[in-house]
A and B are shown apart, each in its own frame.
Chain A
Amino acid sequence: MSRQLSEKEKELVRQLQADIPLVPEPFDEIARAVGMPVEEVIDKVNQWIADGTIRRFGAMVRHQRLGYKANAMSAWDVPDERADEVGERLARADAVSHCYRRPRADGWRYNVFAMIHGASADECHRVAAELAAEVGVEEYALLFSSREFKKVSMSYFVE
């Protein structure tokens, strides 16, 4: 569901998706750039955090460097009538960070996706095998990334 943001709100989004300045009063600096009173900026940001428009506000760290050595995209071929139940159960696992239902496609029969994080590829395989037994789905694939071609945060309202 889409909603209309004002031009100033769009400018605030552009400021917030960049780096927060490392100065004692960073929101004052942002407020000046947007042309809004700082109190209004702080209220708006807190409101966006509360209503989920901002999913997270803080530092994005490099996971691989901070101890998560491996991640695998697990994809599961689940009978359609069981997809939601299985997706919700996979989502409960601590090692799973993201879990979605997606359509099947030509040459791609898997309809539930779960990102598995572990200290090693072996651990990801172990976790997937345990999850398979738990949810009773045998048909799954584990796709490891061999190269990262791009990883950036989305820049909204710049097109």
Chain B
Amino acid sequence: MDAIDSRLVTEIQSGFPVTRRPYAAIGEKLGISEDEVIERLKAIKESGEIRRMGASFDSRKLGYASTLCAAHVPPEKLEETVAVINSYINVTHNYERNHHYNVWFTVIAPSRERIREILEEIEERAGIDPIIDLPASRLYKIQVDLPVIEEK
């Protein structure tokens, strides 16, 4: 990524113009053409630096429920359990972490009832101890924008 790419990424992390010709508007800001914006974005996406370009929805505003869950999974069951958990489109993030509860994942579903159903299914299919279900009761901060750090 060169300096223009970095500025371009910073610009469209939150400020994507919702207009008929968004790439022309971005180009105007950066002093490059609409075509160059599109070509550069194609290349940056190809490189994997941009995961996706689109909308992030607030699950609550769409009527969905969400939660953070953790499971204690012994090493010999890890691979199989992760496959079971990841098979749900409702699971968006899943990480191994250094704790007795070593598998941490998020679940988003149309209702709390559906979340409970999914967790019980996972416990049964994977044959693991009860999963802890930690839905947020208060949101103090949700910041999705972290500034791009220039790489040397």
Tell me the bound Cα distance from A102 to B136 in angstroms. Answer: 5
Known contacts A27-B18, A66-B49, A149-B94; is A99 also within 8 Å of B140 by CB?
yes
Provide the B84-126 mask, 1 if CB < 8 A to any CB of A, else 0: 0110011111111111110111001010000000000000000
Contact-residue size bin, chain A (C-beta under 8 Å from the other chain): 35 or more
Partner of B97 from the list A83, A146, A150, A152 (CB cut-off 8 Å) is A146
Interface of B, secondary structure class, is mixed
Looking at the complex, which one of B23, B85, B105, B141 makes contact with A96 (CB distance below 8 Å)? B141
Using known A-B contacts A58-B53, A67-B151, A97-B143, determine if residue A22 contacts B132 with beta carbons closer than 8 Å. Answer: no
Q: Which of chain B's residues have a CB closer than 8 A to the CB of A131?
A: none
Q: Which positions in B face A, CB cutoff 8 Å?
A: 9, 12-16, 18-24, 34, 38, 41-42, 45, 48-64, 68, 70, 72, 82, 85-86, 89-101, 103-105, 108, 110, 130, 132-146, 148-151
Other than the given A45-B18, A113-B68, A150-B85, 4 more pairs (CB < 8 A) read A13-B57, A24-B34, A55-B142, A154-B57
Residue ranges of A at the interface with B (Cβ–Cβ < 8 Å): 1-5, 13, 16-20, 22-28, 38, 42, 45-46, 48-49, 51-63, 65-68, 73, 83-84, 87-88, 90-91, 96-103, 105-108, 113-114, 117, 141, 143-159
